[in-house]
Amino acid sequence: MESLIFEKTQPGRRGYVLPALDVPSIDPAAVLPALALRKKVSELPEVSELDVIRHYTRLSQLNFSIDTNFYPLGSCTMKYNPKVCEQVANFTGFRSVHPLQPASTVQGFLQVCYELERMLSEICGMSEFTLQPSAGAHGELTGLLIARAYHKYKGNARKTVIVPDSAHGTNPASAMIAGYQVVNTKSDPKGRVDLKALKAVLNEDTAVFMLTNPNTLGLFETQIKEVAKMVHDVGALLYLDGANMNALVGLIRPGDLGFDIMHLNLHKTFSTPHGGGGPAAGPVGVTEALTPFLPVPRIRKTEQGFSVEETAPLSIGKMRAFNGNSLILLRAYIYIRCLGREGIRKLSETAILNANYLRAKLHDRYQVAIDEPCMHECIFTSAKQKRFGVKTLDIAKRLLDYGFHPPTIYFPLIVEEAMMIEPTETESKQTLDLFIDALNKIADEAERSPEILKTAPHSTPVRRLDEVKAAREPNLRWRSVPVKVSNPPTPAKT
């Protein structure tokens, strides 16, 4: 393991030196009040540029990543992130643009955003999109605030948001922040909407029904049009959590199914890199009736070029400072321009093909939660390994030894010991076959020598961690000196 960068400090060493000051020097104490001036220096590392490069290059090599390993993490769509998208996003003409520059000086960026919005609207069958939300959960909150503004405009904000028990945890959390009570509804055994259960909770107080389609079991919601009718009949709105949009792109348009609001995760479906947990972007699409409530600013195309509309009377306002994660939006734009209208369909078809191939090849050795054709991901369980005392966690950890990132485990919550595998469309048959081989070997090991699994991983940079210690005695930062209580400076009495 690598020591901390702070532990490599050599007093006086520099990693970057500023140019000499070419304006007259001033005494900070002459222009700033004494109380405003920092007294104690920050103990930042003192290291050379090479120290920094070597330290972080070595650290990076301790990671699994898409560029180095198959990463079939369900619901996360870990597909290849094309390098050309990175290259364009690094052009000075994009990366150095200030967000408050006059519209006349950013026509290229405005065009990218405008066209991306149109393309996403077309792909999803929605009327318009806002590109402002910074992540999927941020998009959910945006969408729910739009719904709330819409209902208020119609006279009554309503009280509840209905969320299926198979939903991502962000759904209920976002609904709470949007000021709604969450009503949970049970799914049927296939993770699909239980129409009876839905009917029982739908009423005039319902603002929104949030749905993931394909659902978190990887199955298409076949009764979607009936669901939409039921929701609309009580005057509520139907929301699509677009986390699983990789199954639908180019094949099925959510707008055609009756969804009123949806968010996309550009870092999933449209291949912007996950960056170890972010940055992301979560554009939100709406039907025409909801467009007046979209956040500002809005980009408009006029005869004089592209312009930015700063205010709109019914808008929910702003979800973040400035306009959005533009360099992420640009990557998604370049990605879609690469794929084009032919490529988007091939994307989802191949994603569905790959998932079904894994289902067909693995279902002898591993229990499939629902053994019928799946969409872009498939849920297995460790039910067949249970009698050897092997759990899903053990299988996941053993996969690390074989050089594969494990699937998403223990989600959805409605499937016991779930393993959610999403191969994505960018993986070759050879990679999938190696993964199948590894899982088959692990199934053998589970029968013959389960201890290997229970103590896995064995070949990773570190082995299983003491998470109880991490949570009981939180150590969240390096400290130069042992903890000491510092008192704020007291202002002089006037």
Partner 1 sequence: MSNIERHYAKSHEWIRVEGNIGYVGISDHAQHEVTDVVYAEIPKIGKSVKAGDEAATIESVKAAFSIYAPVSGTIAKANAELEKEPGLINQSPYEQGWIFALELSDPGEVNKLMTEAQYQDFLKSGGPAAHP
Partner 2 sequence: MDFTPHTDAERKEMLADIGVSDFKELVKGLPLYEGDFKIPSGLSEGEVVRLGHELGSRNQAPPRLLSFLGAGCYEHYSPAAISALMSRGEFLTAYTPYQPEVSQGTLQTLYEFQSAICEITAMDVCNAGMYEGASALAEAVLLAVRETGRQEVFIPHTLHPDYKAVLDTYTAEASVQLIDVPQRNGQMDLDFLRARVTENTAAVIVQNPNFFGIVEPVVEMGPIVQAAGAFYIAVVNPLSLGLLTPPGEFGADIAVGEGQALGIPPGYGGPYVGLFTCKSKWLRKMPGRLVGQTVDVDGKRAFVLTLQAREQHIRREKATSNVCTTTALIGFCANFYLTLLGKQGFRDVAYQNLAKSHYALDQFRQIPGVRVPFGDSPFFNEFVIQTKVPVENLQQALLEKGIAAGLSLKKWFPELENASLWAVTETKTKADIDHVAKALREVL
Binding residues for partner 1 restricted to 430-469, rule: CB under 8 A = 467-468
Interior angle at CA 239, CA 375 and CA 317, nearest 5 = 135
Largest CA distance in the chain: 81
- Name residues contacting partner 2, limited to 323-362 (CB under 8 A): 323-328, 334, 336-344, 346-347, 349-350, 352-354, 356-357, 359-361
CB-nearer residue toward partner 1: 36 or 471: 471
Distance CA 29, CA 471 (A): 44
Query: Which residues are CB-contacts of 458 (< 8 A; sequence separation ≥ 6)?
Result: 401, 452
User: Considering CB distances under 5 to 8 angstroms, the limit depending on partner class, which of partner 2, partner 1, none binds residue 62?
Assistant: partner 2
**Is 481 among the residues that bind partner 1 (CB under 8 A)?**
no
Give the up-direction half-sphere exposure of residue 5: CA atoms within 13 A in the CB hemisphere.
Answer: 20
Query: Which residues are CB-contacts of 292 (< 8 A; sequence separation ≥ 6)?
Result: 312, 313, 314, 315
- Name residues contacting partner 2, limited to 194-223 (CB under 8 A): 220, 222
Considering only 38, 83, 472, 484, the residue that binds partner 1 (CB under 8 A) is 472
- Name residues contacting partner 2, limited to 361-380 (CB under 8 A): 361, 373
The H or E element that residue 79 is part of is none
Shortest Cβ distance from residue 467 to partner 1 (Å)?
Answer: 4
CB-nearer residue toward partner 2: 235 or 343: 343
- Name residues contacting partner 2, limited to 22-51 (CB under 8 A): 22-26, 28, 31-33, 35-47, 49
Shortest Cβ distance from residue 364 to partner 2 (Å)?
Answer: 12
Shortest Cβ distance from residue 17 to partner 2 (Å)?
Answer: 7
User: Considering CB distances under 5 to 8 angstroms, the limit depending on partner class, which of partner 2, partner 1, none binds residue 289?
Assistant: none
CB-nearer residue toward partner 1: 83 or 472: 472
Considering only 233, 302, 304, 467, the residue that binds partner 2 (CB under 8 A) is 467
CB-nearer residue toward partner 1: 468 or 492: 468
Q: How far is CA 304 from CA 93, 212, 297, 307, in A?
A: 21, 41, 18, 8
User: Considering CB distances under 5 to 8 angstroms, the limit depending on partner class, which of partner 1, partner 2, none binds residue 205?
Assistant: none
CB 127 within 8 A of CB 287: yes
The torsion angles phi and psi of 39, rounded to 5 degrees, stand at: -100, -45
Nearest Cα residue to 420 out of 212, 278, 272: 212
Query: Whole-angstrom distance between the N-terminal and C-terminal Cα of the chain?
Result: 55
Considering only 1, 36, 471, 492, the residue that binds partner 1 (CB under 8 A) is 471
Shortest Cβ distance from residue 392 to partner 1 (Å)?
Answer: 13
The label of the residue with tokens 């709105």 reads 237
CB 142 within 8 A of CB 263: yes
User: Considering CB distances under 5 to 8 angstroms, the limit depending on partner class, which of partner 1, partner 2, none binds residue 29?
Assistant: none
Q: Which two tokens stand for residue 220?
A: 């298409």
User: Considering CB distances under 5 to 8 angstroms, the limit depending on partner class, which of partner 2, partner 1, none binds residue 292?
Assistant: none
Task: Walk across the sheet containing 160-164 and list its strands.
Answer: 128-130, 284-286, 261-263, 237-241, 206-212, 160-164, 181-185
- Please report the sign of the dihedral spanned by the C-alpha atoms of residue 163, residue 166, residue 168, residue 169: positive
CB 211 within 8 A of CB 187: no
Shortest Cβ distance from residue 376 to partner 1 (Å)?
Answer: 26
Shortest Cβ distance from residue 387 to partner 2 (Å)?
Answer: 25
The torsion angles phi and psi of 121, rounded to 5 degrees, stand at: -60, -40
Distance CA 185, CA 202 (A): 10
Considering only 155, 313, 482, 489, the residue that binds partner 2 (CB under 8 A) is 489
Considering only 114, 127, 128, 182, the residue that binds partner 2 (CB under 8 A) is 182
- Please report the sign of the dihedral spanned by the C-alpha atoms of residue 130, residue 319, residue 209, residue 347: positive
Shortest Cβ distance from residue 446 to partner 2 (Å)?
Answer: 19
Distance CA 236, CA 252 (A): 23
Considering only 102, 155, 313, 482, the residue that binds partner 2 (CB under 8 A) is 102
- Name residues contacting partner 2, limited to 280-319 (CB under 8 A): 280-281, 295, 310, 316-319
- Name residues contacting partner 2, limited to 227-286 (CB under 8 A): 250-253, 256-257, 271, 273-281
Total number of residues binding partner 2 (CB under 8 A)? 202
CB 345 within 8 A of CB 251: yes
User: Considering CB distances under 5 to 8 angstroms, the limit depending on partner class, which of partner 1, partner 2, none binds residue 340?
Assistant: partner 2
CB 297 within 8 A of CB 288: no
Shortest Cβ distance from residue 468 to partner 1 (Å)?
Answer: 4
Give the up-direction half-sphere exposure of residue 269: CA atoms within 13 A in the CB hemisphere.
Answer: 30
- Name residues contacting partner 2, limited to 109-168 (CB under 8 A): 109, 111-112, 119, 122-123, 125, 134-138, 140-141, 145, 148, 168
Shortest Cβ distance from residue 74 to partner 1 (Å)?
Answer: 17
Q: Which two tokens stand for residue 81?
A: 């992130």
CA 134 from centroid of its chain's CA atoms: 10
Q: Which stretch binds partner 1 (CB under 8 A): 9-17, 201-209, 273-281, 470-478?
A: 470-478
- Name residues contacting partner 2, limited to 385-424 (CB under 8 A): 396-397, 400, 405-406, 411
Q: Which residues bind partner 1 (CB under 8 A)?
A: 467-468, 470-472
